[in-house]
Amino acid sequence: MNARRNFIRISAGAAALAALPVLSAGPARAASASRTLRVGNQKGYLSLLKGRGTLEKRLAPLGVAVTWTEFDAGPVQLEALNVGSIDFGDVGEAPPIFAQAAGAPLAYVAATVPRPQSEAVLVPHASAIRSVADLKGKTIALNRGSNVHYFLVKLLQAHNLQYGDVKVVFLAPADARAAFERGSIDAWVIWDPFLAAAQKSLDARILADASGVVGNRAYYFSSLSYAKQNPDVIKILIGELSQIDQWGQANRAALATQLAQLWGLPNDVVSEAIARVPFGTGPITKAILAEQQQIANTFFDLKLIPKRVNVLEAAAPGIV
């Protein structure tokens, strides 16, 4: 589930497999680092943070060394967390549900504000489909078990349709785009920047976005043990990410340029995606975890996960 997890979160990541720790010039030298922060990430905010080097500088006086490992999707990041290879990462709404169902010891440590306009149902510009009700009996492509899977379920419910009223085909974004271009599907449920790219290059029309239907947040996660043992490190890391968030809000054009380079996409596509993103990263609350619980319940009802998940069990210490 690459690019939305590349985008919404805006999506957040690094650009290399490893980075040498920055040593402090002060008395508490990182050369004798007693702790390590292993960041796993996708291309996005965490990439920008790595490029700035400010995290290493902030953590060096605490004797914390930082390493970076880049991943191409959220589920792979969470698999790395599950086997103890990373301590921190960024991800969208859906992968943590599957990870928790599989027994991963993850802890939610921060979340973005909702970004409902960054996912939508697309139809061809000339399509006769003009309302959500018109989707009944139609073939719709989406990435199985993703944020947009949940969005479609809730969108149909909001318009008095059942999940079984449509024909869902599970396709990864690249395959879904190809099917959309061929006309072999009637609609495509997708996230940015794939969404913006389809608007720009395929003249696709947004039938409905997630506004008023689902929140569409992105999350930063750690392991329960790391979050409990290193709250000072997590606090600094989230603070640094918030700084980049604030910079991005004030410098959208520059942010779009940097992300376009990271993602290898045209600047106008990324600018379109950035234009509809509200900015903000904050602490996890019980209300936010309740949103995740609804997703978990929905995925269990759809038989996408093998057991019920209690999302509160993935709460880091100190949630409110």
pLDDT digits (tens, 9 = 90+) for 132-172: 999 999 999 998 888 899 999 999 999 999 999 999 999 99
pLDDT category at 285 given cuts 50, 70, 90 is very high
What's the rounded mean pLDDT across residues 5-17?
36
What is the per-residue pLDDT across 225-240, written as a single tens digit (0 to 9) for each? 999 999 999 999 999 9
pLDDT for 61:
94
What's the rounded mean pLDDT across residues 186-191?
97
What is the DSSP secondary structure assignment for residue 132, as one 8-state letter? G
The token duo for 138 is 């139609």
The domain ranges of the chain are: 2-115+217-314, 116-209
Which CA distances in Å does 101 have to 6, 98, 310? 23, 5, 9
Environment class of residue 134 by beta-carbon count within 10 Å: exposed (0-12), middle (13-18) or buried (19+)?
middle
Selected residue with higher pLDDT from 26 and 295: 295
CATH fold of 2-115+217-314, please? D-Maltodextrin-Binding Protein; domain 2 (3.40.190)
The token duo for 58 is 């902030």
Distance from the Cα of residue 213 to its chain's centroid: 18
Amino acid present at 104: A
Average pLDDT of the chain is 87
Count the alpha carbons within 13 Å of 255 in the hemisphere toward its beta carbon: 25
Q: Is there a common fold for 2-115+217-314 and 116-209?
A: yes
pLDDT for 33:
58
What is the per-residue pLDDT across 22-56, written as a single tens digit (0 to 9) for each? 333 333 333 455 889 999 988 888 999 999 999 99
Nearest residue to 225 (alpha-carbon basis) of 156, 317, 302: 317
What's the rounded mean pLDDT across residues 276-281?
93
Selected residue with higher pLDDT from 30 and 297: 297
Q: What is the pTM of this model?
A: 0.82
pLDDT at residue 16 above 90? Answer: no
Distance from the Cα of residue 144 to its chain's centroid: 15
Using CA atoms of 115, 281, 60, 37 in order, give the dihedral in degrees to the nearest 10: -60
CATH fold of 116-209, please? D-Maltodextrin-Binding Protein; domain 2 (3.40.190)
pLDDT for 320:
59
